[in-house]
Amino acid sequence: MSRLREMIKDMCPDGVEYRWFEDCCEYVRGITYNKSNEARSDSEPVWRVLRANNITLSSNTLNFDDVKLIEKTVRVKEDQFLTKGDILICAGSGSKEHIGKVAYIDEDMEYTFGGFMAVIRCNSSIDSRYLFHIFTSKLFLLYLDTALNSSTINNLNFTVMKKFIFPVPPLPIQNEIVKLLDNFTELTAELTAELTAELLLRKKQYNFYRDGLLNFVRVDDTIVQTERQKDRKTERQTALRIGKIGLLQQSVAVEWKTLGEVCDLIAGGDVPKGEFSQVVTEEYRIPIYSNGIGEKALYGFTKSPRITQPCVTISARGTIGYSALHLTPFYPVVRLIAAIPYKCLDVKYLFYMLQMTTFKIPQTGIPQLTIPMVKTYPIPIPPLEVQEKIVSILDRFDTLCNDLTQGLPAEIAARKKQYEYYRDKLLTFPRKAV
């Protein structure tokens, strides 16, 4: 950074020149074709066409997961092939989120690009990699926001692009900025990969111990915990170290009961007419939950709860079998079944057990679960103190995994925010007086 400061001080003492896009860049739109021009395989002569989905939004990189194959009867101009130093940009999309996303082309490629895409090529006064960073910066995003909000059409044509103005310092300064930003990008990508791998490992570990703790088998008239952990010393020692209890060393007598014998099962109802709000207010404070997963399950808010006791909901339609824990009053809508446990059953133990349960769905009619179907499912019921010990172990693992699940995006977001701040700082210059 000190080197860059010195370069700016020496080479741009009076500020940096800002230039219009149209004065230093070429803008080439992609090819157009019909459905009838699409090829079934690459066994015949084809053009390989990149589209908006081939730019990964989160990383501004190319992916080749779904490359469109077009018959060579479609005309492709020489300037519509991707070459080293090109910046591929999404010029048209049904979603404004994708408009303006870019990817850098670091080698000549036997690929062209579709009509909703464009390629940006700069003249010799600009490092194309520097320009790529400009197009990922706050400067361009703010320009896009203003330009697109003034139009009803999400289309980055040349008329829109030519009005973009950006700083163009001397080439040595551009090169230095590119070196700094590329290094930071690489470090951010490595950290993301490491954190993702750690998360997957923790989740795998959690699932192993959850399944081990909740795996019971029949022995005559009594049910005991499976002996498989006893047969594998390493697994037992690890579990004991994590749980710090001797639960896995002992056989535990349990009873098998159906869900109908140990729970009140209540079907969800219709959204209360005239008592619904999409946002929480002083009057509408009770959450309404649907059969969605996670945050998508929150449907809205109402005045009065239908369920006031801790329970576990089971999705009866769509996300069939998905279970969710509810410890506060709420209102379940149709397609949810609420299981309210009796005193013999810990609600969190029930939740963990239902996470492992695979419900059999009838092959005929509309795929769904009903209360008569759910109430017949057997569940092992160890003594309450054993349930609490199992819950204690799994809660620790669940917390660890959830912290990582929540912490990983938070860490990635923090790193991304840091990178964006760093990038925008490097790309901000005092404007040279004209």
Confidence label for 197 from pLDDT (cuts 50, 70 and 90): confident
- The structural domain count of the chain equals 2
Confidence (pLDDT) at 296:
87
When the pLDDT of each residue in the chain is averaged and rounded to a whole number, the result is: 84
**Angular region, 379: left φ>0, alpha ψ -120 to 50, beta rest:** beta
Residues 93 and 198 in one domain: no
> Is 374 in a helix, a strand, or coil?
helix
Q: Of 261, 258, 234, nearest to 248 (Cα)?
A: 234
For the ranges 31-40, 156-165, 177-186, 389-398, which has the lowest average pLDDT? 389-398
pLDDT tens profile 270-319: 988 889 998 999 999 999 999 988 888 999 999 999 999 999 999 999 88
- Residue of 396, 325, 321 whose CA lies nearest to 359: 321
Q: Count other C-beta atoms under 10 Å from residue 107's C-beta.
A: 9
Distance of CA 87 to the CA centre of its chain: 26
Question: How does pLDDT run across 351-409, given as a tens digit for each residue?
Answer: 999 988 888 888 778 889 999 999 999 988 888 988 898 888 888 777 766 665 566 66
pLDDT at residue 231, as a whole number? 43
pLDDT over 50 (residue 421): yes
Q: Is the domain of 136 the same as that of 37?
A: yes
Model confidence at 222, pLDDT cuts 50, 70, 90, reads very low
Section 146-168 average pLDDT = 83
Residue where one domain finishes, among candidates 141, 168, 195 = 168
Tell me: do 180 and 71 sit in the same domain.
no
- Do 139 and 34 reside in the same domain of the chain? yes
- Are 33 and 139 in the same domain? yes
What is the rounded CA–CA span in Å between residue 195 and residue 416?
Answer: 14
DSSP summary character for residue 52: G
Strand partners, 287: 301
**Res. 96 pLDDT band, cuts 50 70 90:** confident
Identify whether residues 108 and 26 lie together within a single domain: yes
Per-residue pLDDT at 359: 87
Residue 203 lies in a domain: yes
pLDDT tens, position by position, 40-78:
887 778 999 999 999 998 889 999 989 999 999 999 999
pLDDT at residue 202 is higher than 90: no
164 and 43 within one domain: yes
Do 28 and 11 lie in one domain? The reply is no
Going 345 to 349 to 355 to 356, the CA torsion angle's sign is: negative
The side-by-side arrangement of strands in the sheet containing 323-326 is: 263-267, 336-341, 311-315, 323-326
Its pTM stands at 0.61
Question: Is 260's pLDDT higher than 80?
Answer: yes
Is residue 25 located within the same domain as residue 46? yes
Mean pLDDT within 150-164: 81
pLDDT in the model for residue 167: 95
C-alpha 391/C-alpha 352 separation (Å) is 8
The span from the CA of 385 to the CA of 346, in Å, is: 9
Pairing of strands 18-20, 165-167: antiparallel
CA 5 to chain centre: 38
Is 101 domain-assigned?
A: yes
- Structure letter (DSSP) for residue 291: S
- pLDDT higher than threshold 60 for residue 217: no
Cβ atoms within 10 Å of 398's Cβ, excluding its own: 17
Q: Is 228 domain-assigned?
A: no
The reported pLDDT for the residue numbered 241 is: 34
Chain-centroid distance of CA 18 in Å reads 37
Residue 60 and residue 187 in one domain:
no
Note the pLDDT of residue 176: 94
Q: Is 279 part of a structural domain of the chain? A: no
Let me know whether 31 and 147 are in one domain. yes
27 with 142, same domain: the answer is: yes
- The CATH number covering residue 154 comes to 3.90.220.20
Tokens of 339: 């299981």
More reliable by pLDDT, 11 or 202: 11
Confidence tier at 250 by pLDDT (50, 70, 90): low
Q: Which domain range does residue 119 map to?
A: 18-168
Report whether 17 contacts 165 (CB < 8 A): no
What is the per-residue pLDDT for 423?
A: 85
Residue 189 lies in a domain: yes
